[in-house]
Amino acid sequence: MIQLSNYIDEIRTDHTRLPKRVWCIVRRKWLDLTPEEIVRQSAILHLLKLGYPQGRISVEKKIQVNSLSKRYDIVLHNRTGDPMILIECKAMQQPIYQAALDQASIYNLQLNSTYVWITNGHHNLVYAFDNNIKGYIRLNDVPPYHTQDKQINNQKVPDLDLWTKEAFITLLLLHAAHVDLEYSEEERSFILNHTDRRSLAQVEQFYNQHTDAQIWLYLKRYNKVFCPDQQTKEHIATLLQNLFITDGDHSKLEKGFSHFFLHYL
């Protein structure tokens, strides 16, 4: 059961000036404090609590719907940048009527997201598109990030003896290159400089057949096997650093990935 009211105290606000302001953790800027914005920030915090990466959340972006320019509230993207969860936010005092459901459905004709969540902070309607019935089914909550591998892909991770250290490093670099949702040609060329086209194609096929959760579990499981000492880990960290600067855009997400690899993986 979703309880967005639990996140109210976590939202950063500024009451020292008029109009009052609220901090958007995704857009990283102050906005006018409105009832709808409070719901929007609460929904973002709920996604983060479920484990979804902040870098895959987009807020109030324009889309074209029947030749008209519209603006959705929140969309959570999967690792390839495709919409996965569409969230329509209403002010807390605004009831959720059929019109809100219709609006979200129309937006989703363009976005084609798997999940649709309509919320006013107090009441929540979550739906998932079911390919078997070609329609939506009602859910109690948005599925947590770590369960996506069970719902999207049932394939098992290959056994260790099918992999080599080179393939493991290639997978790690490939996963890292996608962390900011921009897998550039420069990044792919960099990876190719450390493997051959056939091996990269095999790793890319594996990567595309598995979810982020599966890839991450695989890397975590075999990290100590292929990175048994600090010297090897520092060598791979240098590769990551060079990978991230190869396209001239070293993002905060990429810096965070390097830090996480060195200190936590």
pLDDT in tens, 105-149: 888 888 989 899 999 999 999 998 776 666 778 888 888 886 664
Residue 81 has pLDDT above 70, yes or no: yes
- pLDDT category, 233, cuts 50, 70, 90? confident
- The whole-chain average pLDDT of the chain stands at 84
Q: Which helix (H) or strand (E) is 68 found in, with range?
A: strand 68-71
* Whether residue 177 has pLDDT greater than 70: yes
Rg (CA), the chain: 21
Please write the tens of the pLDDT for every residue from 14-52: 999 899 999 999 999 999 999 999 999 999 999 999 989
Cα–Cα distance measured from residue 42 to residue 77, given in angstroms and rounded to the nearest whole number: 18
Backbone angles phi, psi at 155, to 5 degrees: -70, 145
Q: Indicate whether 65 pLDDT > 50.
A: yes
Residue pair 217/157 in contact (Cβ under 8 Å)? The answer is yes
CA 80, 86, 89: angle at the middle one, nearest 5? 145
**Its pTM surpasses 0.75:** no
Residue 9's alpha-carbon distances to 5, 14, 54, 70, in angstroms, are 9, 13, 19, 31
DSSP string, 102-168: HHHHHHHHHH--SEEEEE-SS-EEEEEEETTTTEEEEESSPPPGGGHHHHH--PPPPPGGG--HHHH
3-state secondary structure of 72: coil
Return the structure tokens found at 72: 């959705």
* Mean pLDDT confidence for 191-195: 91
CATH 1.10.3680 domain span(s) along the chain: 153-263
153-263 belongs to which CATH class? mainly alpha
Return residue ranges of the chain for CATH 3.90.1570.30: 4-147
CATH architecture of 4-147: Alpha-Beta Complex (3.90)
Q: What is the C-alpha to C-alpha distance for residues 203 and 171, in angstroms, rounded to an integer?
A: 6
- Lowest mean pLDDT: which of 171-175, 188-192, 218-222, 232-236? 218-222
Q: Which of 122, 93, 100, 127 is nearest to 7 (CA)?
A: 122
Would you state the pLDDT for residue 149? 43
pLDDT of residue 141: 87
Q: Which helix (H) or strand (E) holds 65?
A: strand 62-65
* Separation between Cα atoms, residue 192 and residue 69, nearest integer Å: 41
